[in-house]
Structure 1
Amino acid sequence: MSSPWPREQQLRLSTVLMDCVEQLTALGRIMLHSGRACPAAGPPSEIVTVDVGEMQVQVKVLCPAEGEGAKPKDCPPSPEKLVKVQRDRQFVAQVISDVAEELRESGTFHTLLETVGRERKKAAHLQDLIRREEEGRGKMKALQRQLLDIRKEKALELQKREEMIAHLKDQLQQMKAKTTLEKKYVKNSSELMVYQGQKFNAHKEKQLEDDIKHLQEKIKEEKRVHKEMEGFLKEHQTQLVQKLEMWMERYDTETDIKQKELNSLKTNKANNLAYFQELCKTYQESEQVVITDRLEKEEQRRLQEKEERERKAAVKIQAWWRGTCVRQGLGPYGKGTKGPKGSKGSKDKKTKEAKKEKKK
């Protein structure tokens, strides 16, 4: 890559940078020998402006103190500050040395830009750490305040519990005194109850002994009654056996009589059954004759009715025919024709009979 500056300017810049490195090295030796540093007054510096393309980079170059009368104030630095200053000085010297070497070789100072970028990242990281540390401190303060509140609450709770313990101790003393009195009372009551129980048991035992004697006498009485009852039952059993034998004989006699009566009834039943069957046969024959007679009469009635209907129909047909002949003047009823003698009388007779049939 070609350099943006002429070779002479590169050499001048490189020389200035190397001079800065030497001054930083001398400053470090002075700080090591003197063991003192004054943060308020430092060595004068010279600012050199370097053009890199379109960018201008200002490099601060340390210069020797102006005037022999300028003396730093006596202020003993702390060891931590000395260590930090030495570390920063070494870092700056190393960066300037690398930049000077890069300028001599290629005429660029990318190393400076990369270092500045890395330092910015470190600074940002450091700022992030500081911010998180501040947040942690805030949280810690909040937790400390919360812890203080909890301690106060616990102290109040502990005080309340101590008061409760003292109150419970008082109650315990009262309960112990009350328990002692109750024990004495229970002991006296138990002794009294035992004494009363013994007296009650003695009285109960006496009652039970009296009951036993009474029951023994009652058992004797029951045995005597049992023997008398047993004799009575045996005598009554003998009488019942005799009565049973008598009733068995009577049962046999009456059974024979009833069996004879039953046989007689069976015979009468058989005779009556035969007579009944004969009557049934006679009744069936009579009924058959009656049914046959009824059927014959019914048949005759139907025949008579049929003949009557046929006769009436013939009469009606004849009357209709005669009427038709008369109205039409057919046959012997024509105009100018006289019927035979006696026809008028027969005609009137037939007309009367037809009217009678209609009325019926």
Structure 2
Amino acid sequence: MEICCKDLQEFGRFRNFAEFIFYENSEAYDEFNLLKTYCENIEKMEELQKELKINRQKNEVSVIKMDEHLFNLKTECENREKTNRLETNMVKKWENARQEQVDAVFNHELKTLYQTRDDYEEKTENELIAINEIMAFYRAKGAKLENSIKSWHRRYEAERIQLDEQIKHTEESIKDVKSKYELIRSWYETREKFIEEYYIEQKQLEEIRKIEAGQRASAIRIQAWWRGTMVRKQLGPYRPKKKSKKPKAGKKK
């Protein structure tokens, strides 16, 4: 929550929160990489299937050519057999030996072709078995990854809902704090204005008091000077009292 609030105040978005989510979901990221590798392996497997299909087509073409060659050889043998029937008895033995040689070569080539065909068929079957096993392995792995992705997705949705609620609560708290801040700020401005006015008023009163104190001191000095003057010059109440003349007693007769 502190990270979210800090991001909102400083950047206006959840930059550090995104990094936090990334580090928290690093395991999911690893699983995502595994899924990506799985997809790449699927693509490689499709390429292998295409290559296998091309090889199979080539092998089928080769088998067709070999069958055609075999058919041509059979045709040639038949033609030679027909030719041998027309040959004279003098070359019959030699032709028989020649025919045996041709048959031996033909049988050898035929055996070689059949063996090659069997080898290709066996190789094709082994490759199909390997492909089926690979497909089964990838299906199992894909199902496991899919279940893991679903669980992580559910967890992500739950955490997202929880974080949305926390963000909503934080926004409400921020709004409440802002309203309180506005109230305190208005109250502070009012008090500040009152304090400024009070300070100005007190300053004016202090100046008035200083002026009055100066006037009072001046009046006291003037009064002191005047009293001193009256005392020195014996004026006013400080004038010396005249002695009253006592009446003289009449002469006794």
Structure-2-length-normalised TM-score: 0.39
Q: Higher strand proportion, which one?
A: 1
Q: TM-score with structure 1 length normalisation?
A: 0.28
Higher helix proportion: 2
Query: Which one has a bigger Cα radius of gyration?
Result: 1
**Higher relative contact order (Cα pairs below 8 Å, separated by 6+ residues):** 2
